[in-house]
A = this chain, B = another copy of it.
Amino acid sequence: MAVETTLDRARSNRILAALPRPELERCLPHLERVVYPIRQVLHAPGEPITAVHFPESGWISMLAVLADGGAAEVGLIGREGVVGLPLFFGTDRSPAEAMWQSGSVALRMSAEAFREATAEGTTLRSLVLRYAMCFTAQVSQTAACNGRHSIEQRLARWVLVAHDRDEADEFPITHEFLSMMLGVRRAGVTVVAGRLQKAGLIRYRKGLMTVTDRAGLEAHACECYGVVRREYDRLLGPGWRARRD
């Protein structure tokens, strides 16, 4: 069995993978591989953010925590991005929460090292800037989507967004959890998920969802999926997804 080096693993994250070799090598000593349990909170609202994380696989939800104790997902981060943008923006805390949803392997870099690694003239700086633009576009579209589109459209969109960040066609997710992410009732998710399953677009059982017809899902989802996807493709190149179509 081959020994997997930090260099190999860094190639899993699309931002790190896009760095020129010398710059990546300067980063390597500051990258530490970490594995977290599912639902692990990477940073909580108002708490200091001490490090950024470059996911190797799976995805992290960015959540806005509400007064009633609930949380609404406003964006999703996978191997195309980095968790901890507030540090880049010059602050060590944020009103949002970052929580692991799937996967759970990332490369961790301390706030201090990240600041140096994104100094003027570095490729990392311009990549993170572009990623920040993508993420903002995702959140913006989510804002519009939450106000205008049906649960069915939003669920189809959510599955596609997650699927883009997953190596496999199946991933663990329950209706209960989806309902929290979408900000709707669990029963509402069950009903529309049942419709999507009946239409042959997905399959699921006991907390495991399988995508069986991507094209069909795209047809059922609102335009928000395509708008954001095109923005990611445009700014990060078309290779940022974990899977091929």
Contact = CB atoms under 8 A, between A and B. Distances in A.
A62 interface: yes
A129 B74 contact: no
Contacts of A66: 144, 148, 223
A187 interface: no
A235 interface: yes
Q: How many copies does the complex hold?
A: 2
A143 B74 CA distance: 6
A13 interface: no
A123 to B, nearest CB: 12
Interface of A: 62, 64, 66-67, 70, 72, 74-75, 85-86, 88-91, 94-96, 119-121, 126, 129-130, 132-133, 135-137, 139-144, 146-148, 182-184, 222-223, 227-228, 230-231, 234-235
29 contacts: A64-B143, A64-B227, A66-B144, A67-B222, A72-B143, A75-B140, A85-B133, A85-B136, A86-B133, A89-B133, A90-B130, A90-B235, A91-B133, A91-B235, A94-B137, A95-B137, A95-B230, A96-B137, A119-B120, A120-B120, A120-B121, A132-B132, A135-B136, A139-B139, A143-B146, A144-B146, A146-B146, A147-B182, A147-B184
